[in-house]
Amino acid sequence: MPHRGPMLWLDALIAGGEDSVEAAATLPADAWYREEEPGMPAWLGVELMAQAIAAHVGLRGWLAGKPPKPGVLLGCRTYRVQASRFPQGEPLRVSARLSYRDESGFGAYDCTVNGAGGPLASATLKVYEPDDFEAFLRSTAAG
């Protein structure tokens, strides 16, 4: 994953395969997003999910003997949360299961964030892995 330092929120890869990944995350007490209330604002769960997808893309590349392809998050469909904040210090499990991928690189993942008490958030995230990422960036900058 390209994330480093305070933007790398996943602690470890727990399980993974061709179609899915599960990762662990623990919210640090000194996180940059911390406000008066402890925990992580639930809307940041989309980033946890996106990082799990990036871990899956990296794993798929590694299994195929290739470097991971860079990609972009296109959007999120039906983000559902159980509370306004994820609990501070509680181990989280973030899972992403590939539900659709076409030959052009468009895909969708069904994702969840679970805490000790069960589901905290769920969503379907749409992603794109272009064959030529640099050309894709140039085309979006020109448009």
| 29 burial level (CB within 10 Å; 0-12, 13-18, 19+) | exposed
Structural domains in the chain, sorted by start: 5-142 (3.10.129.10)
| Single-letter code of the amino acid located at 15 | A
User: SS3 for 58-91, per residue?
Assistant: HHHHHHCCCCCCCCEEEEEEEEEECCCEECCCCE
| Single-letter code of the amino acid located at 104 | S
Tokens in use for 111? 């994702």
Provide the β-strand partners of residue 114: 93, 119
pLDDT tens for each residue of the chain, 143 residues long: 555 454 566 888 999 988 999 999 987 666 655 666 777 788 889 999 999 999 999 999 888 898 878 889 999 988 999 988 888 778 899 999 999 999 988 999 999 999 988 999 999 999 999 888 888 888 887 65
